């Protein structure tokens, strides 16, 4: 596409959207009512890392579809063709039976996840986490007399938008006005060293942050805690990479108290953090359950997975004569074959184009460029991330680390948008701390793409903060 839509009148589409579409994560007031101030944005086409809106304007997408999803970029014809061919052969059958792409993708996925063995297909990250929570609860009844039912989650982490997933969500603003929540979910402290809760640093801080989890377990009673659910790198809560020493101690604690370790890889999974396929693999962790969604098929089809170890799977097939012993769950659209068909091609592209290696290299390059911006702009208090999943926290004062007003952070995003670069910011998440710029360009990013993102951010910071 050349970005010129002068021959195409999309005014009808815009008006249909204005009148009938309920957009996600956004206030509709500016483009609805008797005197709208603006038009809703319609994304018409995408190629590589770039998209075009209804006015033909081109944007470099540095957030992979807005929510960290389009890992291999837009316009991948081979994925579209694979989906089309599969839909003509068999579009759907309930997950009570298997499918060819489902079996083939599961085999390839498990080969990349040593220690894991079973793939439960579902249709979204929220849904995948719901399945994990249900597994934990059923295991509590099957093996522990119903007592070991509590699920621990971390402050600032996010696990989905259903009421149960929000019950495991550590973001107060996302949860506001949606309670009461499901009982049995218990919060543990975050591990963001920049917002230190203890007067320690480095590995000592990481171990102390993990020890805080043990303190919660002991307070609740170890015989009541069934699982610990964590993101390997916290996403919407501020792009938080774990301190050294954190994950080994977390693993040790889970094993000590026979607590299932559930890793939420919905954002980090399938290459986003570079070098390894999954975020947890950077830290030598051996989880019991891993959930994933966004990058599994890069948004070319709806697919999510709840992956378990054989140990977890075995807990649901040990009493054949008991009609209540198996996992009595279904996800209707987990039976769609387009998802695994697209996911197979997605994995192949990442392998053939060496995108894990590219993500690591470009992530290092972008982190260096962000540090250059930090040297130039005092408003950047901290830069962090892993691979092509990075954040820059904005502060009014570096000494006190007082956050900037979130409207200023949003103004930086808007200024980048005016330059044709889409970046993100923590949004309706942590009261007073929606101040971290978020970057997650596609794994195909090159230096010139990153340079354009950095240049736009530089100009935007100057425009907003001087």
pLDDT in tens, 346-375: 999 999 999 999 999 999 999 999 999 999
pLDDT in tens, 33-70: 888 889 999 999 999 999 999 999 999 999 999 999 99
Q: Is 412 left (phi over 0), alpha (psi -120 to 50) or beta?
A: alpha
Predicted local confidence at residue 124, as pLDDT: 97
Query: Can you spell out the DSSP letters for 387-422?
Result: SS-EEEEEEEETTTTEEPPHHHHHHHHHHHHHTTEE
CATH architecture classification, 11-70+355-465: Alpha-Beta Complex (3.90)
Q: Which tokens is 303 given?
A: 């697919």
Domain boundaries, the chain: 11-70+355-465, 77-352
| Separation CA 149–CA 151 (nearest Å) | 7
Q: Which tokens is 352 given?
A: 């053939």
Of 419, 410, 397, which Cα lies nearest the Cα of 464?
410
Predicted local confidence at residue 31, as pLDDT: 87
Helix (H) or strand (E) holding 368: helix 355-376
> Taking residues 128-144, what's their average pLDDT?
97
Residue 5 reports pLDDT greater than 60: no
| Residue in this structure with the two tokens 């051996």, named with its chain if needed | 286
Predicted local confidence at residue 9, as pLDDT: 83
Predicted local confidence at residue 3, as pLDDT: 47
Predicted local confidence at residue 319, as pLDDT: 74
Stated pTM of the model: 0.96
Mean pLDDT over the full length of the chain: 96
In this structure, whether the domain defined by 77-352 belongs to CATH 1.10.10.10 is answered with: no
Of 241, 224, 228, which Cα lies nearest the Cα of 289?
228
| Separation CA 385–CA 275 (nearest Å) | 14
Q: Which tokens is 375 given?
A: 């040297």
> Taking residues 95-114, what's their average pLDDT?
97
pLDDT in tens, 8-21: 789 999 999 999 99
Of 194, 285, 278, 293, which Cα lies nearest the Cα of 241?
194
With pLDDT > 90 as the criterion, what percentage of the chain qualifies? 92
Please, which pLDDT band fits residue 6 given cuts at 50, 70 and 90? very low
Query: Can you spell out the DSSP letters for 338-351?
Result: HHHHHHHHHHHHHH
Helix (H, G, I), strand (E, B) or coil at 192: coil
For 228, phi and psi rounded to 5 degrees?
Answer: -120, 120
pLDDT in tens, 191-225: 999 999 999 999 999 999 999 999 999 999 999 99
């Amino acid at each position: 596409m050349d970005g010129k839509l002068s021959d195409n009148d999309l005014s009808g589409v815009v008006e249909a959207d204005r009148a009938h579409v309920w957009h996600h994560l956004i206030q509709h007031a500016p483009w609805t009512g008797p005197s709208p101030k603006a038009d809703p944005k319609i994304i018409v086409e995408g190629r590589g890392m770039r998209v075009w809106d209804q006015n033909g304007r081109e944007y470099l997408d540095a957030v992979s579809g807005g929510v960290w999803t389009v890992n291999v970029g837009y316009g991948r014809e081979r994925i579209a063709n694979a989906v089309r061919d599969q839909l003509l052969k068999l579009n759907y059958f309930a997950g009570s039976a298997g499918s060819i792409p489902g079996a083939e993708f599961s085999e390839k996925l498990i080969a990349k996840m040593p220690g894991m063995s079973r793939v439960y297909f579902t249709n979204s990250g929220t849904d995948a986490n719901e399945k994990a929570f249900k597994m934990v609860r059923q295991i509590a009844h099957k093996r522990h007399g119903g007592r070991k039912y509590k699920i621990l989650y971390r402050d600032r982490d996010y696990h989905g938008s259903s009421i149960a997933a929000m019950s495991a969500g550590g973001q107060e603003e996302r949860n506001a006005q949606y309670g009461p929540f499901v009982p049995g979910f218990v919060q543990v402290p975050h591990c963001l060293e920049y917002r230190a809760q203890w007067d320690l640093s480095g590995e000592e801080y990481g171990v102390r942050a993990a020890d805080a989890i043990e303190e919660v377990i002991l307070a609740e009673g170890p015989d009541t805690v069934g699982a610990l659910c964590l993101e390997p790198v916290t996403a919407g809560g501020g792009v938080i990479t774990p301190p050294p020493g954190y994950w080994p101690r977390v693993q040790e604690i889970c094993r000590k108290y026979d607590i299932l370790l559930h890793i939420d890889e919905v954002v980090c999974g399938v290459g986003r953090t570079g070098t390894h396929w999954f975020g947890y693999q950077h830290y030598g962790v051996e989880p019991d359950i891993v959930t994933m969604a966004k990058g599994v098929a890069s948004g070319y089809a709806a697919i999510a997975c709840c992956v378990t170890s054989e140990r977890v799977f075995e807990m649901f097939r040990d009493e054949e004569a008991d009609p209540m012993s198996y996992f009595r769950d279904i996800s209707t659209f987990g039976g769609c074959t387009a998802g695994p068909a697209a996911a197979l091609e997605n994995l192949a592209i990442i392998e053939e184009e060496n995108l894990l290696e590219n993500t690591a290299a470009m992530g290092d390059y972008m982190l260096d460029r962000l540090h250059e911006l930090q040297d130039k702009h005092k408003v950047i208090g901290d830069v962090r991330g892993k691979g092509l999943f990075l954040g820059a926290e904005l502060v009014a004062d570096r000494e006190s680390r007082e956050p900037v007003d979130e409207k200023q952070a949003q103004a930086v995003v808007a200024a980048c948008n005016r330059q044709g670069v889409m970046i993100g910011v923590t949004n309706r998440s942590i009261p007073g701390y929606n101040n971290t710029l978020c970057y997650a360009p596609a794994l195909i990013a090159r230096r010139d793409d990153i340079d354009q993102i950095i240049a736009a951010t530089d100009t935007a910071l100057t425009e907003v903060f001087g």
